[in-house]
Structure 1
Amino acid sequence: MASKMQGSAEFDERFLTCPVCLLHFRDPRVLPCLHTFCRECLQEWATKQQPLECPTCRTQVSLPDQGVDGLRTNFYVNNLLDFAAVKKGAGPGVPCQVCEGREEGARSWCVQCAVLLCESCTITHRRFPAMKGHQIVTQETLEASGGVPSSFQRKAFCPKHEDQVLTFYCEPCQTLVCVACTVVDHPRGDEHNPVEIGAVAERKKRHLQELLGNIQPRGREVEAALCDVKREISELPTSANAAIAQATAYFDQLMALLRDRKEEVVEEIGSRCRGVGKCLETEKEEIEFELAGLTSAFEFCKQTLAHGSDVHVIEIEGQARQRVEELLTASTKEVPTNLTARPSQVVFSEGTAVVEFRDDVARAGRVEVQVKVKVDASKCSVEIKPALPGFSNVCLLDTNGQISSELKDDVTVTLSDPSGQAVPTQLRGKGRGLWGISYTPEVRGNHRLEVNVNGRPVAGSPYDVSVQWSHSPHGEGELSYPTDLAVDMDGNIAVLEQGSKRVQIFDAKTGQSLRCFPVDGRCLFAIDIDSNGQFIVTSGHPFYSTQAIRVYSREGKLTKTLKPDCLSDPFGVAVLQDGRMVVADGTQKSCLLLQPDGSLIREIGKGQLQYPQFIAVDESRDLVFVTDWGAHKVFVFDLEGKLKFKFGKEGWNEGELQCPAGITLDPSGNMIVVNRDNCFLQVFGPDGTYLRTVAVVRERSHGIALTPDGHIAVACHSGQCIEFYKY
């Protein structure tokens, strides 16, 4: 309101008018909802309803103990009212309110006294010692000002000491006080701490500025929502007209079908009537002909009996008998006496009963109001993963639980390769407000992904999608048959490549290769990182007699090679904080707990494990977790070698294990396990209870690791890549 008032040369009456009485504010008071009304209007309003509701926004208001009188005064509105009165009263012909016009017209205004003064009275006013601090606003200042001058403010006086201005603020009491109050009622001490209002006001102004900063983003959201609603309101007649046009066309088609059917039936009735009539006319003629023959024979016989002589009767009787027998024989063969074999009338039969058709008509067409859930783009996010050229990749759009059956109509996705060519994308729902954006890049390099919801970009859009890792085992940034991975102390991904015989470090967020170093040995299998950031790599095969555990510095230099006699076929490895290691040995069908120098401490799982593969350790509980390909189970031992429990059912369904490979633990103690054969990446509780399936990964996936930002990294051996899944 202030900005609008100060930006105009003339006052807008609605800023000075009470919404209840529609007059200028009288003693304006502010409700907790920040709407202002006259004190008397609020008092009258409060007597009419309990609890009190704001007349403008209908918010329920709890009045202070003093009632309406306890509400805060809107000093800003008072200033506006004063200024409006001064602007109006400073015009020509307005008398001085002190000398009542005995001198020349009014020329200035005393803010404290709230009176118009002529020039003489102004000089006299300034001479009084008690009025030396009063603020005088001249006519020139009033006329030159396009709005309310910043210095034009009515002084606030103490309600207890009416001649004292409020100049202090007691923070414990949260009350404005005057100088007299600081001596009598609010002396500085343990219970009171009056401070000058200037410092307090500056702090409060900063708080108000913060509130403005908080309001503006929400205001923009509400304005955007208002624009959406206005747009939908403007589009509503169009959609209604379209629906009317569709309904009209639909029922016109139904009525046209009924008219056509009616004409067909009426025409068929006429045709059938003509056919039956022709049949009946033919039958009529035959019957009339037969009747004429019978009548003629009857009359002949009758006349012969009545008038013929005996000679005549004897002569004619034979001929008469023959004729009558012919007539009677023809009647028996050709015309049935009951007349059931001939068509007699045309009737109409209802194919569908009127009652049934009425029900069908009632179901013909349905009017619905589509409720379209609008997804807020500011609350959406997109998870970007590095991609392989030539392979399908999926980015995950998270609508933060906002589920919309019409989401595909609201979302636009554009993916461009480094040259600007568009890459086809598909949007598929994954449930729970998640949508997959799938695509298959063809070239390497940074791609650009733009995701808009309801015409607004999702936070962070456009995104850079790195397409860098390929099948080629030669270049840096490319992978060749990765078998295992680990997260280093900086949160980067260290990948052990069996094909290129090296360890390559990648930035987990961007997929960019940071560095790499070669490693020795054949049949590289597992990698882990100790508390000093050194890389521990297992390699070897009993047929080649190259089994070893090698330790590389953070810079990638080989520091030592361990070849203990107890080691035959090393697979997974996990390093403890004190440097001890747990290594799975396939030939010995056990796990070896080793000292940092490689000497054996004890065997774990001997006689219980069949083909141990990968290992995870929870030192807080002294537990070792081992995946077993042969048993299709996960075994859990303590570091003393005692079996705590095991779980797993062999199968190809969710919750079952089929050659379990990589394993890792989350902060809650849940186990994340990937199956090499059925490809399920699954989560099990600390007791081995199946919780959920995260994803279906590529075949022959080996080691896995949980990244600091909550993704599961999977080493896809046959896919020659690392895939990331949101956990």
Structure 2
Amino acid sequence: MASKMASDDFVDEFLTCAICMRHYRAPKILPCLHSFCRECLHEWATKQQPLECPTCREPVRLPDQGVDGLRTNFYVNNLLDFAAAKKGAEPGVPCQAEKDAGNFHRKRHCPKHNQKLVFYCENCNAFVCMACTVVDHRPGKHHNPVEIATVAQRRKAELQGLLQDIDPRLKEIQDAVKEVDRKISKLVPSKEAATDQAKAYFRKLADLLQKREEEILSQIDEQCRADGKALQAKKEAIEFELAGLTSAQTFCQQAVEHGSDVHVLEVGNQVQTRVETLLTKEVDLESDWSEFQFVENLALVHVEKRVLDIFGGVKTNVDVSKCKVVVKPAVQGFKCVAELTTLNKKGRPCFTNSRAVKADIKDPSGKNVATRVLTKSRGLWEISYTPKVTGNHRLEVKVNSQQVTGSPFDVDVKGNPVLTIGQKGSGVGELSWPVGVAVDKDGNIAVVERGNKRVQVLNADTGQSLRSFPVEGEKPYGIALDSEGRFLVTSWGENYGLRRYNNEGKLLNTLTPDCMRSPHGVTVLKDGRMVVSNGTQKSCLLLQPDGSLIREIGKGQLQGPVSVSVDESRGVKFVTDMIAHKIFAFGLDGNLKFDFGRQGDNDGEFQQPRGVTTDPAGNIIVSNAGNGRVQVFAPDGTFKQKLGPVKGGHASGVALTPDGYIAVACWGGHCIELYRYM
């Protein structure tokens, strides 16, 4: 077996890094089982974010140690050693390594005791030496050192079972590729046949149908391109799955047949995870394409009546009765969209040519509104328009000159704000001096009411009150939610503190660290750390989840910090300063990056800024107490847009809903307003 491996499989290509095209140097294995030089991956990771495998484009999430934390490909290392040994043998002298290439392995030693690794601690998933079993991995409740060969044999058996599962899946994917090839081979003849039919028909119509003939031929060409593109994309997608599964099979086969016990244990879990992921991954192997043809709709004797309506077109696989239209909320003066999905008889998304899809929208007076139809992906079309007035609009959608089910559709175009929730009071759904606002993982709005000293959770679509719970502290202010859905609420004045409540409103704990005296705004990072604005100390505090201080930020620079928001993807913390009438941007290391704004009522100026949040694009959204405006800024602080003024003229906390609306706590208006922006 070793000799066969040496003569047949041991080739330079297998030992060559796909990035530097040289023999591997310290090869590292990615989760997709592709290997590259450690230094090549280091350089690749600095150039590409997010990181993808250079070979299969599979997203890569590096361990905490980065590239160095990836598994080493010891099998490749062994082959490199074997190659070096084989190259060093004298001419005419049989190389001992070549005779036993399957057992040519680098010795592994314990980094602590410098002894040969002979055991595997199953509790710790670590290789250990004899000394380790006496000191750090003594057999007992917490450690179970077992001989490497024993564990490796069990792992090999598991990998062998995975290999048996791969074969039928490989055949299924290979058959799918052949089927797509078969359809691709028929694509051009189908086009040619349809073209010939159309030409024969339209020659009889001569001058009357010349323009229509050109239109139909254009549709056929476009349909061919669309189908060709779809089928080619389908083939590439299937071949991509085939390549991934084949690569995993090869790697698994090599690990089982040629890998050392250590190597099998090193990569066994990784191989198993990769193969099981590929085997359980749902892959659409159907191409859903059928031959198109030209269809005559009307006898020649009737041609003079309704030329454009009755003459033939390109018959596609779209079933108009199954097509679906989703009308999204529309706001006056903003780009609005509806989405059309073209489906075939099986109810699966399918392509069609752009001329087959028509959309028209009329405002309440019956005037046409300019529309644009664009294809977004397979079978998905975006119908966009910008309404100039509010009120009920009518959207008509046709595919292949036929109305889709439900057309025409009613579109209720709203003004801005699109929704106002609540009125002054203490009952369910009523609000009293709302100040802080946040959005939970379900898209519901949680608002802190100073007047009622409670948190009320509201449905962002309907405004309905879902639940509420009382909060402690004299002057509750800020609110945020952590990754577990727990509420963090600040209060200042008497009985101040940062309180953590569970999802149902039960008080879990109260944090009052010595460094905090007057907490206002609060935000929570993904890892549970918190940032709190500290009013009387004129700074912000970066805290551990238990409330212990990591560092104080902005001391000596802030005058009246109120609200905070962190853009973790860019490493920036924004603070509103109601006394300086500015927004300060700090790094989490405490260093000031920049600030922007000054007192005033012009664009980009502030009157006592209160709430702040950021959107996924990095835009900064700021609310003002002094003039009730909400302003939107680019990530560098450049003014972009203003909204409002809000009801009551005092905008407090702001938050962003999952569907892209700004939720504003209107202090004087005793309500929450939702605004469309950008």
The two structures have a TM-score, normalised by structure 1, of: 0.43
**Computing the radius of gyration over CA atoms, which structure comes out larger, 1 or 2?**
1
Higher relative contact order (CA 8 A, sep 6+): 2
